[in-house]
């Protein structure tokens, strides 16, 4: 066993070289903004996926994020580099940021709930192998409380140099990651209560303070920082499940979820954000992180707390199933052989990420009913769609991907809006209606279209948490407006 040499301390004050391990949705945008804001710091992003690194070094980046390409092209080759050479990057770095994947375990103890920390442990071992001096290690992957201990122990047993581990959770949102990185609502840095950890925390805070107002930089204990990320995501997902639960009640009672949500949200204690009913939440984080939280609660023998969070997931699954059932029930109890246009499979707008997308669960349920799906997403490729759908034998013939929303809807019995891409609201619905089978259905899984105006054209519109028949005054107003203006898109451009 090697012991840390306490006499040689890292120079915590002067970070000039940062290595980011993991060139994914967290690592790459963060590294790009870091390089942009700190031209005197060399940032090297390392990943073991050679293809991905080659993509980062090309003009065809591995994924879409608004305005990321411009920033990368600005700093790449200047002070931002992408590489597979871990050893050199780690040796040269003062600070190493760990942004690797932490998927759920699929087998063994905790399968489906506990995170698989294999990648994090591997990175710790890589650092131990290559580091020839003291380093500050920054945990940016989302990990359960106490995970920093794993990194510390691997390093302590395998490397003689002093190392400090900090937690700096990522709060940026996919789809607006570059804005969130450039102007974050808060930065959190957690460290232990030791002189070295305090110095390392100060060094990291100094980096962020170059572009983030100091009052937005929170410092805390190591375990609080680790737990804050899981808690933040659990709260966000819980809000979505809460309004979705109310949407089911609205549909039974004739209340309108948007009216309820507005009235509830103007209470400043509650707030208006994240109160939009939808087909359900998705993405790489919410479900995974709630499962991690549940596992943590069970491990610490808090079954009631674990059950509370489990229900957020139960409700989300219910909402996706409910949506698919509504489609079938509304279309005379059968969608077999009917063409359904699916608009959007990304888990939300402004990203091409489809991980855990609710769209896939809805599509799978409808494929089991033998529906004929014609899918359009402005950013998701047909390959990614096929991969996400995990088609069963014989289902290939039931799915077609097209590159235009109009083509998807032509000849369809229904349109399903599953991602809230802005462009869907700007389409010419008169044209779409004329090319669809009748009755023409619209199932708005994001409540983003103008339902009354669509009804005025002749569509059967079913939203989430919406009364089937809208209040007569609202409907009349919209019908008059549509006939006065002539088309729905013109109506939108008038700011209706
Ligand atoms: N995606 C988000 O919006 C988001 C937000 C906050 C936190 N997180 C958390 O951040 C972490 C990363 O998430 P992501 O979305 O960027 O994942 P990702 O899959 O997009 O990227 C992870 C990258 O790590 C690389 N990697 C894995 N093991 C490696 C290893 N041993 N050495 C080098 N590279 C390795 C992978 O090749 C991949 O490129 C996860 O813990 C996630 O929960 C994600």
Whether residue 52 is annotated as binding a ligand: the answer is: yes
Q: What confidence score (pLDDT) does residue 470 get?
A: 52
290-316 pLDDT, tens digit each: 999 999 999 999 999 999 999 999 999
Q: What confidence score (pLDDT) does residue 231 get?
A: 96
Active-site residues, by number, are 285
Angle CA 101–140–46, to nearest 5: 65
Integer-rounded Cα Rg, in Å, for the chain is 25
Q: Verify whether ligand 1 is closer than 6 Å to residue 49 (CB atom).
A: yes
Return the residue matching tokens 């232990």.
192
* Peptide bond before residue 488 is cis, with ω within 30 degrees of 0: no
Q: Which phi-psi region, left, alpha or beta, contains residue 332 (left: φ > 0; alpha: ψ -120 to 50)? A: left
Q: What confidence score (pLDDT) does residue 11 get?
A: 55
Q: Which domains does the chain have, with CATH numbers?
A: 17-212 (3.40.50.720), 222-496 (3.40.50.720)
Residue 481 has pLDDT above 60, yes or no: no
Q: For residue 27, which atom of ligand 1 is closest to its CA?
A: 16
Q: What confidence score (pLDDT) does residue 487 get?
A: 47
Q: What confidence score (pLDDT) does residue 496 get?
A: 29
- Stretch among 39-53, 201-215, 229-243, 474-488 having the lowest mean pLDDT: 474-488
- Banded pLDDT at 471 (limits 50, 70, 90): very low
From atom 15 of ligand 1, which residue's Cα is the shortest distance away?
Answer: 25
Whether residue 325 is annotated as binding a ligand: the answer is: no
Residue 453 has pLDDT above 90, yes or no: yes
- Banded pLDDT at 469 (limits 50, 70, 90): low
Q: Is 104 helix (H, G, I), strand (E, B) or coil?
A: strand
Whether residue 146 is annotated as binding a ligand: the answer is: no
- Banded pLDDT at 495 (limits 50, 70, 90): very low
Residue 267 CB contacts under 8 Å (≥ 6 apart), including other chains: none
Residue 391 CB contacts under 8 Å (≥ 6 apart), including other chains: 367, 398, 399
Q: Verify whether ligand 1 is closer than 6 Å to residue 23 (CB atom).
A: yes
From atom 36 of ligand 1, which residue's Cα is the shortest distance away?
Answer: 22
Residue 7 has pLDDT above 50, yes or no: no
CA distance 66 to 175: 7
Q: What confidence score (pLDDT) does residue 27 get?
A: 98
From atom 3 of ligand 1, which residue's Cα is the shortest distance away?
Answer: 174
Q: What confidence score (pLDDT) does residue 494 get?
A: 34
Whether residue 275 is annotated as binding a ligand: the answer is: yes
Q: What confidence score (pLDDT) does residue 477 get?
A: 52
Angle CA 320–405–346, to nearest 5: 40
Question: How far is ligand 1, taken at its centre, from the CA of residue 99, in Å?
Answer: 5
Round the average pLDDT of the chain to a whole number and report it.
Answer: 92
- Banded pLDDT at 8 (limits 50, 70, 90): very low
Question: How far is ligand 1, taken at its centre, from the CA of residue 204, in Å?
Answer: 21
List, in sequence order, every residue forming a beta bridge with 461; answer none if it has no partner: 442
Angle CA 160–161–165, to nearest 5: 115
357-410 pLDDT, tens digit each: 999 999 999 999 999 999 999 999 999 999 999 988 889 999 999 999 999 999
9-23 pLDDT, tens digit each: 555 558 999 999 999
């Amino acid at each position: 066993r090697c012991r840390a040499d306490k006499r040689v301390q890292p120079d915590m004050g002067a970070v000039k070289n940062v290595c980011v391990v993991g060139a994914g949705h967290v690592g790459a945008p963060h590294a790009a903004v870091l390089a942009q804001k700190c031209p005197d710091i060399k940032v090297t992003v390392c990943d073991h996926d050679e293809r991905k690194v080659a993509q980062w070094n090309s003009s065809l980046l591995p994924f879409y994020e608004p305005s990321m390409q411009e920033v990368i092209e600005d700093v790449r080759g200047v002070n931002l580099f992408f590489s597979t050479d871990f050893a050199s990057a780690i040796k040269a770095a003062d600070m190493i940021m760990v942004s690797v994947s932490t998927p759920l375990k699929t087998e063994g103890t905790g399968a489906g709930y506990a995170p698989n920390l294999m990648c994090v442990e591997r990175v710790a071992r890589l650092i131990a192998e290559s580091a020839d001096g003291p380093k500050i290690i920054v945990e940016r992957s989302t990990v359960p409380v106490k995970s920093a201990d794993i990194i510390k122990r691997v390093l302590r047993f395998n490397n003689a140099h002093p190392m400090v581990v900090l937690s700096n959770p990522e709060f940026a949102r996919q789809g607006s990651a570059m804005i969130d990185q450039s102007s974050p609502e808060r930065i959190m840095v957690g460290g232990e209560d030791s002189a070295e950890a305090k110095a390392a925390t100060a060094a990291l805070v100094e980096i962020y303070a170059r572009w983030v107002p100091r009052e937005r930089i929170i410092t805390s204990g190591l375990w609080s920082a680790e737990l804050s990320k899981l808690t933040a995501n659990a709260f966000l997902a819980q809000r979505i499940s809460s309004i979705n639960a109310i949407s089911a009640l609205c549909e039974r009672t004739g209340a309108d979820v948007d009216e309820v949500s507005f009235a509830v949200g103007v209470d400043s204690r509650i707030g208006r954000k994240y109160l939009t009913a939808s087909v359900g939440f998705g993405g790489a984080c919410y479900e995974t992180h709630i499962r991690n939280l549940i596992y943590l609660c069970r491990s610490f023998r808090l079954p009631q707390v674990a059950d509370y969070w489990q229900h957020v997931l139960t409700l989300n699954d219910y909402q996706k199933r409910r949506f698919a059932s509504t489609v079938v029930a509304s279309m005379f109890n059968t969608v077999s052989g009917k063409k359904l246009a699916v608009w959007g499979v990304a888990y939300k707008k402004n990203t091409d990420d489809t991980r855990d997308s609710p769209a896939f669960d809805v599509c799978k349920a409808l494929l089991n009913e033998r529906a004929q799906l014609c899918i359009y997403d402005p950013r998701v490729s047909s390959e990614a769609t096929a991969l996400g759908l995990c088609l069963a034998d014989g289902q290939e013939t039931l799915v077609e991907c097209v590159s235009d929303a109009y083509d998807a809807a032509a000849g369809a019995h229904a349109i399903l809006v599953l991602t809230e891409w802005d462009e869907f609201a700007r389409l010419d619905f008169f044209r779409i209606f004329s090319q669809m089978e009748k009755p023409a259905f619209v199932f708005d899984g994001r409540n983003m279209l103008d339902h009354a105006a669509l009804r005025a054209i002749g569509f059967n519109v079913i939203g989430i948490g919406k009364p089937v028949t809208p209040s007569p005054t609202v409907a009349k107003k919209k019908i008059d407006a549509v006939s006065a203006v002539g088309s729905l898109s013109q109506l939108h451009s008038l700011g209706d």
